């Protein structure tokens, strides 16, 4: 970290474009859920086709977020941030003009996904570098993860409003406009550390990790069509990820620079924190897809009606994430995550019970509100635990890994819950899909119970108040 740290006002100006960047990327992952019927009708495709586009977007982020984090050390955090915004904007405009599903997948799923992989790791690296002590870092992460959670939860509402008032294509133009605003707000942002162009890049590791993740999630997506194909794809993905592990370990032993350091996986706090991150985003995005598809396909709600129902989850996330600073002052981060999972599980139970017993739209509100409160409370402490577990020289790696695990959770949430749902929308699949999400939330709670009560700061990290 350089000595000339920005003053508090400058830090706030830096935080705004970083938070907006997380907001728009999370928005992109959920806003298409309310456009399912409009897009499928306009592009002459199916619900499954739109699900593929949504899942591929999340999958691209999961597959290439680790290389994106690694490139920040080589190219610089500010340069990756700016380049990612540019690629994202091109993808958004291409999606807005797409005449068919293929071009929509190219623009939204691939270009926006790759742009996100370049711009999101710098968001978390710069936040960790600029905000030194636990409280200020929790406040900053509270704003950023809160905006991410709000983007994911408000995506259906904003997307529904735009789709109903104008067109689903205008929602992509909206994303491009927000990107332009972020570019303008970040024009004076500086990189705390100079880039190191001499750093080698692990191409083989990138291919192995990306291919393994792609096959893994694609296998889950294929479960409603061919269980044999699913088994083959999942096993192939697991094999490639195993080869990736052997590759990075071998490369390190030879003294080479691997895509990821194996030391990242020897930190108990970080490992368990990553499990909780994966579970949180899996639940949030899985719930968004299941409820949106159920409302539109079974209940016959339009985009704006579906979006309005999701305001309960948006409000819950906003309230709990904005309270992150106060919560971290009063409770251990482990305790906050535990409470978040308990509230989320209760929300899923309420959502299943009330929706099954009532045909009104209001039946969705209490459960979605509880899910929003629970997930919003967990997002900040989970990110803070993981990022703060490593010193500055590993922030590029852990940021990429952290975002990869979170986005893998998002893509698995859409794939798992969506596969169950579209396999039998009229046969009680809604309750089954939400029950599966509840079981996975319980798994996240069990991982939280194993977290140490007081994580030890890493050597060389700036944990004290600057």
From first CA to last CA, the distance across the chain in angstroms is 11
pLDDT digits (tens, 9 = 90+) for 94-151: 999 998 888 999 999 899 999 999 998 899 888 878 877 666 777 787 788 778 777 8
Where do the domains of the chain lie? Answer: 8-202+259-449, 203-258
Residue 156's nearest CA partner among 312, 380, 326, 45 is: 312
pLDDT digits (tens, 9 = 90+) for 256-289: 778 888 888 888 888 898 999 989 988 988 888 8
- Structure tokens, 384: 């803070």
Inter-axis angle of helices 395-422 and 268-293, nearest 10: 30
Considering the domain delimited by 8-202+259-449, tell me its CATH architecture.
Answer: Up-down Bundle (1.20)
| Rg over CA atoms, the chain | 21
Q: What angle do CA 445, 447, 450 make, to 5 degrees?
A: 115
In angstroms, the CA 10 to CA 235 distance is 49
Find which of 17-26, 58-67, 291-300, 413-422 is predicted with most confidence, using mean pLDDT.
17-26
Collapsing DSSP to helix, strand or coil, 406 comes out as: helix
pLDDT of residue 456: 53
In angstroms, the CA 324 to CA 344 distance is 17
- Structure tokens, 254: 């030879």
Q: What is the largest CA-CA distance in the chain?
A: 63
In angstroms, the CA 244 to CA 2 distance is 35
What is the total residue count of the chain? 466
In angstroms, the CA 325 to CA 329 distance is 6
pTM of the predicted model over 0.85? no
pLDDT digits (tens, 9 = 90+) for 304-358: 777 788 788 888 887 887 777 678 778 888 889 999 999 999 999 998 888 777 7
The answer to whether 434 touches 346, Cβ cutoff 8 Å, is no
């Amino acid at each position: 970290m350089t000595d000339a740290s920005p003053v508090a006002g400058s830090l706030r100006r830096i935080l705004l474009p970083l938070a907006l960047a997380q907001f728009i990327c999370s928005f992109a992952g959920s806003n298409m859920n309310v456009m399912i019927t409009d897009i499928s009708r306009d592009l002459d495709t199916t619900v499954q086709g739109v699900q593929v586009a949504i899942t591929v977007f999340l999958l691209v982020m999961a597959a290439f977020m680790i290389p994106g984090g690694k490139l920040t050390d080589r190219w610089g955090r500010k340069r990756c941030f700016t380049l990612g915004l540019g690629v994202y904007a091109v993808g958004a405009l291409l999606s807005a003009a797409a005449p068919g599903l293929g071009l929509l997948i190219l623009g939204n799923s691939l270009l926006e996904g790759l742009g996100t992989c370049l711009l999101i790791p710098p968001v978390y690296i710069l936040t960790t570098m600029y905000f030194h002590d636990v409280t200020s870092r929790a406040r900053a992460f509270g704003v950023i993860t809160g905006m991410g959670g709000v983007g994911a939860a408000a995506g259906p509402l904003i997307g529904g409003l735009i789709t109903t008032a104008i067109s689903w294509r205008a929602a992509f133009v909206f994303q491009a406009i927000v990107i332009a605003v972020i570019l303008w707000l970040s024009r004076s942002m500086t990189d705390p550390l100079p880039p190191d162009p001499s750093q080698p890049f692990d191409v083989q590791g990138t291919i192995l990790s990306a291919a393994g993740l792609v096959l893994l999630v694609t296998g889950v997506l294929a479960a409603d069509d061919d269980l044999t194909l699913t088994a083959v794809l999942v096993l192939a993905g697991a094999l490639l990820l195993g080869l990736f592990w052997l590759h990075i370990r071998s490369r390190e032993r030879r003294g080479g620079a691997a895509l990821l350091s194996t030391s990242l996986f020897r930190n108990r706090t970080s490992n368990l924190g990553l499990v909780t991150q994966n579970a949180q985003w899996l639940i949030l995005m899985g719930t968004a897809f299941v409820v949106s598809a159920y409302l539109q396909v079974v209940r016959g709600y339009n985009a704006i009606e579906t979006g309005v129902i999701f305001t309960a989850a948006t409000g819950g996330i906003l309230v709990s994430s904005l309270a992150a600073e106060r919560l971290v002052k009063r409770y251990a981060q482990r305790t906050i995550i535990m409470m978040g999972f308990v509230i989320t599980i209760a929300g899923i139970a309420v959502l299943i019970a009330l929706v099954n017993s009532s045909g009104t739209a209001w039946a969705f509100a209490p459960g979605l509100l509880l899910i929003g409160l629970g997930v919003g409370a967990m997002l900040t402490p989970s990110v803070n635990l993981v990022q703060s577990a490593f010193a500055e020289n590993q922030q590029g790696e852990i940021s990429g890994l952290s975002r990869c695990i979170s986005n893998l959770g998002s893509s698995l949430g859409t794939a798992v819950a969506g596969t169950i749902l579209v396999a039998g929308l009229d046969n009680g699949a809604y309750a089954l899909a939400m029950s599966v999400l509840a079981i996975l939330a319980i798994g996240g709670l069990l991982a939280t119970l194993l977290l140490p009560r007081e994580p030890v700061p890493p050597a060389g990290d700036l944990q004290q108040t600057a």
